[in-house]
């Protein structure tokens, strides 16, 4: 049924880069047989899942949205994929994304743009746009995305679904094509918070293959959500960020619509008995600027391995430097090249102190600020996920800074490594979905699930 739906709908949406129907049906038959024999099945038995194309899947092409990895077929699964497989989920395919995760619209895929199921003349967000479009259109019940600076939350917001960026280190990065290693996270996308929690249960937890993986035990989220009184939020203190003036001054359209939905969301939380206090998130713009130094710097190092020798396409050349030049020149898109150049510049001697070190200091400052807010007994910080709803295809593609501004509200949680959830909060005047962002303290995904579930 799901494969038929993909066959019908994906011509219009372009959410997938690869669909492996044969493999999916084979696993379905195998699970069916097990079930008939009365053998035990995993918690996600026979649930189809789409996986972002920067997560390695054994025997299935993994391109990270880049031409340079067009012919790359990994010999192993990412830990997140093998955990889903072990829970008996069925991987149906790989989803489109901005090349190496660099972008906010999935227009910067090396293959084709993906479209928003609510209005196919609009973007689906990015970089996990293919996963968001696949879930929102019902082609799969859930999907995996990755979030470095907002790539799960922003597309979830644009497509009217839920997405979780976990605490850094909570979900293994093993087998994730690295973009910015100190910021990269892998997380689930689904229609409801309950579903997110069930998938997260399978994904979260220590992995010895990832040296930054946290050792802490993972609680049972289902139990927490089903506890008596779990949906009464009287023990939860919410910090509410009202930054309408700042958003308006940045020239975002529809700020009134975003703020109207946001105010209504705050009202919902007061009805759920949460305590609400107004706070402000200073350094938003500085955080954005710091991100766009740190992420490209790490990327410039991480992407050095795509040289046409070990991975991906190789161009004919007379000598080695020409081989690098030609392979990277034709295999990588212009945004990727821009990031490599800015990153290399920021890291080079003479500029390191002025840019990279400064950016790290800003990161430290932002993290400390957020830490202080949580120490003052706040449980959750809420703000809109994005400053506007899904924009028209092509609208921001020529202006990288406009595209970067999309991440204004998602970056702080990324810099601080904090968990953040996006849940649908309403529609703008064009009937496009908008998302609410809930940021939690380190490893407090449980509180985010509780509040998000009650809100939904």
* Interacting residues toward ligand GLN by CB under 6 A: 101-104, 127, 147-151, 179, 295, 407
Active-site annotation holds for 121 = no
Query: Which residue's Cβ has the minimum distance to ligand GLN?
Result: 151
- C-beta of 300 vs 327, nearer to ligand GLN: 300
- C-beta of 3 vs 403, nearer to ligand GLN: 403
Secondary structure of the chain in HEC code, one letter for each residue? CHHHHHHHHHHHHCCEEEECHHHHHHHHHHHHHHHHCCCCCCCCCCCEEEEECCECECCECCCCCCHHHCCCCCCCCCHHHHHHHHCCCEEEEEECCCHHHCCCCCCCCCCCCCEECCEEEEECCCCCHHHHHHHHCCCCCEEEEEECCCCCHHHHHHHCCEEEECCCCCECCCCECCCCCCCCEEEEEECCHHHHHHHHHHHECCCCCCCCCCCCCCCCHHHHHHCCCCCCCCCCEEEEECCHHHHHHCCCCCHHHHHHHHHHHHHHHHHCCCEEEEECCCCHHHHHHHHHHHHHHHHHHHHHHCCCCCCCCCCCCCCHHHHHHHHHHHHCCHHHHHHHHHHHHHHCCCCCHHHHHHHHHHHHHHHHHHHHHHHCCCCEEEEECCCCCCCECCCCCCCHHHHHHCCCCCHHHHHHCCCEEEEEEEECCCCCEEEEEEEECCCCHHHHHHHHHHHC
- C-beta of 395 vs 427, nearer to ligand GLN: 395
Smallest distance, Å, CB 320 to ligand GLN?
A: 30
Smallest distance, Å, CB 102 to ligand GLN?
A: 5
Which one is catalytic: 66, 131, 151, 414? 151
Active-site annotation holds for 275 = no
Smallest distance, Å, CB 130 to ligand GLN?
A: 13
Smallest distance, Å, CB 299 to ligand GLN?
A: 8
- C-beta of 147 vs 445, nearer to ligand GLN: 147
- C-beta of 156 vs 233, nearer to ligand GLN: 156
Smallest distance, Å, CB 331 to ligand GLN?
A: 19
Which one is catalytic: 127, 146, 198, 265? 127
Active-site annotation holds for 52 = yes
Which one is catalytic: 27, 52, 115, 165? 52
Smallest distance, Å, CB 400 to ligand GLN?
A: 9
- C-beta of 2 vs 292, nearer to ligand GLN: 292
Return the active site residues: 52, 127, 151
């Amino acid at each position: 049924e799901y494969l038929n739906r993909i066959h019908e709908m994906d011509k219009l949406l372009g959410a997938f880069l690869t669909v492996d129907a044969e493999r999916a049906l084979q696993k379905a038959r195998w699970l069916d047989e097990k079930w008939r024999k009365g053998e035990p099945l995993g918690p996600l038995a026979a649930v189809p899942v789409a996986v972002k194309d920067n997560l390695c899947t054994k025997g299935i092409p993994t391109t990270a949205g880049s031409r340079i990895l067009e012919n790359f077929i990994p010999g192993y699964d990412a830990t997140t994929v093998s955990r889903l497989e072990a829970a008996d989920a069925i991987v149906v395919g790989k989803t489109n994304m901005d090349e190496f995760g660099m972008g906010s619209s999935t227009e910067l895929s090396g293959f084709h743009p993906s479209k928003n199921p609510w209005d196919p003349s609009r973007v689906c967000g990015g970089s996990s746009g293919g996963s968001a479009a696949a879930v929102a259109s019902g082609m799969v019940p859930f999907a995996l995305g990755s979030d470095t600076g907002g790539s799960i939350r922003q597309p979830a917001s644009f497509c009217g679904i839920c997405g979780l960026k976990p605490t850094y280190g909570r979900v293994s990065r093993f087998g994730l094509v690295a973009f910015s290693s100190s910021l990269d996270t892998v997380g689930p996308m689904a229609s409801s918070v309950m579903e997110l929690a069930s998938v997260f249960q399978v994904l979260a937890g220590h992995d010895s293959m990832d040296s930054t993986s946290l050792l802490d035990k993972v609680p049972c989220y289902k139990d927490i959500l089903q506890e008596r009184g779990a949906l009464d939020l009287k023990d939860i203190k919410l910090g509410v960020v009202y930054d309408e003036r700042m958003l308006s001054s940045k020239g975002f359209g529809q700020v009134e619509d975003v703020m109207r939905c946001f105010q209504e969301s705050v009202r919902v939380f007061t009805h759920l008995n949460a305590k609400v206090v107004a706070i402000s998130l200073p350094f938003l713009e500085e955080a954005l600027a710091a991100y766009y130094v740190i992420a490209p710097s790490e990327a410039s190092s991480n992407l050095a391995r795509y040289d046409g020798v070990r991975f991906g396409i190789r161009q004919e050349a007379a000598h080695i430097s020409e081989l690098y030049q030609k392979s990277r020149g034709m295999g990588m898109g212009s945004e990727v090249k821009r990031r490599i150049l800015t990153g290399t510049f920021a890291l080079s001697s003479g500029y390191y102190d002025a840019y990279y070190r400064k950016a790290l200091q800003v990161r430290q400052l932002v993290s400390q600020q957020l830490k202080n807010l949580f120490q003052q007994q706040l449980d959750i910080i809420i703000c809109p996920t994005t400053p506007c709803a899904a924009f028209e295809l092509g609208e921001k593609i020529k202006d990288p800074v406009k595209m970067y501004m999309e991440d204004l509200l998602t970056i702080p949680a990324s810099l601080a490594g904090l968990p953040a959830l996006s849940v649908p909060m309403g529609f703008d005047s064009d009937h496009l979905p908008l998302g609410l962002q809930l940021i939690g303290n380190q490893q407090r995904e449980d509180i985010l699930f509780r509040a998000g579930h009650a809100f939904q």
